[in-house]
Amino acid sequence: MAILRFQVGLIFGVFFLLASMCPATAETVTSQKHRFRVVTVVEGLEHPWGLTFLPDGGMLVTERPGRLRLIREGSLDPQPVEGLPAIAAKGQGGLLDVALHPDFAQNKLVYVSYAAAGEGGIGTEVARGRLIGHRLEEVQTIFRLQPKSDRGIHFGSRLVFDRAGYLFITLGDRGEMARAQQGDDHAGSVIRLHDDGRVPADNPFKSLSGWKPEIYSIGHRNVQGAALHPQTGELWAHEHGPQGGDEINIIRAGNNYGWPVITYGVNYGLGTRIGMGTHQEGMIQPLHTWVPTSIAPSGMTFYEGDRFVRWRGDLFVGALREQMLVRLRFDGTRVVEEEHLLKEALGRIRDVRSGPDGYLYLLTDHRKGALVRLEPLGGEE
């Protein structure tokens, strides 16, 4: 009997060992365009926030409490990347996005956005360093939001390089809405810089007295998703509305996107109007809004891979509050399809990326978050 119990235990032990070595998969998902499965690549990430792909097939993932993690061959390296700047993990702040320099293969430069302490409180900053093994070397801060404050919300912050090599940094209003209309304040704006932090000569407000020269656009509440359009190369972004009124916009030089003067959202719990309503001369209308319910968008990507051929060109947006992945198809700047995928299947979706292998990758924002991959089922590619 003892031998039998030992054999049974051994069989179950081997089973669980093999199960732990194999990627976990969700049930088959049937969408309007494709059938796919969800494969868990890595589990046990603490509030993961941003993701980027390394040329050698690896990945870098940020964890909001302040760790930068390496993933190689589907395994999470237990040793975090060292050399990060001091990070203030408070409220919604912490280590946020990560991006590679366009010439990373030659210069090894990695960029991170994060909340940092300083005079007046905390605020979004951006630093860069060379990734050498498990360490960032020659780290330098290239942007600091000014002024800082003691609020723990609305830090932004996505990092996107455009085709000309300019770095865009998306920010939030820090929970102090009036700041988004103030030219001497970085909060509530999108920033545009050279890769080393210098201000481009053609930034729209550089020559205006009283304006922060780094500002590219103003009137944003909290921008947590941004991506380049695959045809035009323009920066598209979404932002959180208040109660309702999440938006998608094309970010263009000198534009004012309205917050808090205009919005399609309303005051929390009251349903009352914010500002002047939904329209005001000189302020940009969004391409798309979510009303009356906010989805709380975070992360976005245009899909241009070869795995999901009927999704090519579509925009994918993660949702925190609604816990889903949103697929949008545009005809120019007009939404012609909207599909909600994986509703409450994975929890809060923080980031969405189109991988160089043609798969879609998602980060789930939980204390024990995960990196998952969407794969088409046989015959779907």
Q: Which two tokens stand for residue 186?
A: 């970085």
Positions marked active-site: 154
- The Cα 302–Cα 317 span in angstroms is 9
Judged against a pLDDT cut of 80, whether residue 379 lies above it is answered with no
Cβ contact 226:215 at 8 Å: no
Report DSSP letters for 180-212, one per residue. GG-TT--TT-EEEE-TTSPPPTT-TTTTSTTS-
Judged against a pLDDT cut of 80, whether residue 253 lies above it is answered with yes
* DSSP helix/strand/coil, 2: helix
Judged against a pLDDT cut of 60, whether residue 6 lies above it is answered with no
Tell me the torsion sign for CA atoms 305, 310, 312, 318: negative
The model's pLDDT over 115-148, given as tens digits with 9 standing for 90+, comes to 999 999 999 999 999 999 999 999 999 999 999 9
Residue 257 has a pLDDT of 98
Based on the number of CB atoms within 10 Å of its own CB, is 213 exposed (0-12), middle (13-18) or buried (19 or more)?
A: middle
When pLDDT is averaged across residues 80-93 and rounded to a whole number, the result is 98
The model's pLDDT over 260-271, given as tens digits with 9 standing for 90+, comes to 999 999 999 898
Cβ contact 69:61 at 8 Å: yes
Q: Among candidates 50, 111, 59, which has minimal Cα distance to 85?
A: 111
What are φ and ψ of residue 17, in 5° steps?
A: -65, -45
Residue 109: pLDDT band (50, 70, 90) is very high
Cβ contact 250:233 at 8 Å: no
Residue 380 has a pLDDT of 64
When pLDDT is averaged across residues 43-50 and rounded to a whole number, the result is 98
The model's pLDDT over 287-324, given as tens digits with 9 standing for 90+, comes to 999 999 999 999 999 999 999 999 999 999 999 999 99
- The Cα 266–Cα 31 span in angstroms is 32
- The Cα 38–Cα 374 span in angstroms is 5
- The Cα 155–Cα 224 span in angstroms is 9
Centre a 10 Å sphere on the Cβ of residue 5 and count the other Cβ atoms it contains: 9
- The Cα 157–Cα 174 span in angstroms is 11
Residue 169 has a pLDDT of 99
- The Cα 132–Cα 139 span in angstroms is 12
- The Cα 80–Cα 202 span in angstroms is 39
Which helix (H) or strand (E) covers residue 12, if one does?
helix 2-21
CA distances from 206 to 57, 191, 202, 213 (A): 39, 12, 7, 4
When pLDDT is averaged across residues 329-358 and rounded to a whole number, the result is 97
- The Cα 337–Cα 192 span in angstroms is 31
When pLDDT is averaged across residues 321-331 and rounded to a whole number, the result is 98
- Please calculate the CA angle 235-238-54 and round it to the nearest 5 degrees: 60
Cβ contact 210:224 at 8 Å: no
Report DSSP letters for 77-108, one per residue. -SSPBB-PPP----TT-SEEEEEE-TTHHHH-
Residue 9 has a pLDDT of 41
